[in-house]
Homo-oligomer: A and B are copies of this chain.
Amino acid sequence: MAYVNALTALADPTRRAVFERLRRGPASVGEVAAGLPVSRPAVSQHLKALKLAGLVDGRPDGARRVYYIDPNGLGELRRWLDQFWENALEAFKNEVEKPKTVKRRKNP
């Protein structure tokens, strides 16, 4: 069920920007906030949501706190998506292969 959190977390543009910033390596809250047009508390709240979704994790570094990407949440999301993917491909094939076979109402 955690893929739901990951999905909703990554839906927000700012939160996605935070996540993509961390993709270039670990960073502190202030460092992340410095590259974004929002305040530092906003970033802190976003990181909390991302952590809850298993998308990031953080370790203390003195008074600072360094965050980095956690593959767990990403993995769950990937599995959910893959499971969907196979199903969708097969269903789509059935759809495009017989577009004329759909039930007609009159003049059969």
Least Cβ–Cβ distance between A102 and chain B, in angstroms? 6
Contact partners of A84 in chain B: CB under 8 A: 23, 74
Instruction: Summarize A's interface: helix, strand, loop or mixed.
Output: helix
Instruction: Give the residue of B4, B8, B61, B68 whose beta carbon is less than 8 angstroms from that of A92.
Output: B68
A-to-B contact residues, CB < 8 Å: 4, 7-8, 10-11, 13, 16, 23, 25-26, 59, 61-62, 66, 68-71, 74-75, 77-78, 81-82, 84-85, 87-89, 91-92, 95, 99, 102-103, 105
Least Cβ–Cβ distance between A6 and chain B, in angstroms? 10
Oligomer copy total: 2
Least Cβ–Cβ distance between A21 and chain B, in angstroms? 12
Question: Are B69 and A74 closer than 8 Å at their CB atoms?
Answer: no
Least Cβ–Cβ distance between A79 and chain B, in angstroms? 11
Least Cβ–Cβ distance between A98 and chain B, in angstroms? 11
Contact partners of A77 in chain B: CB under 8 A: 81
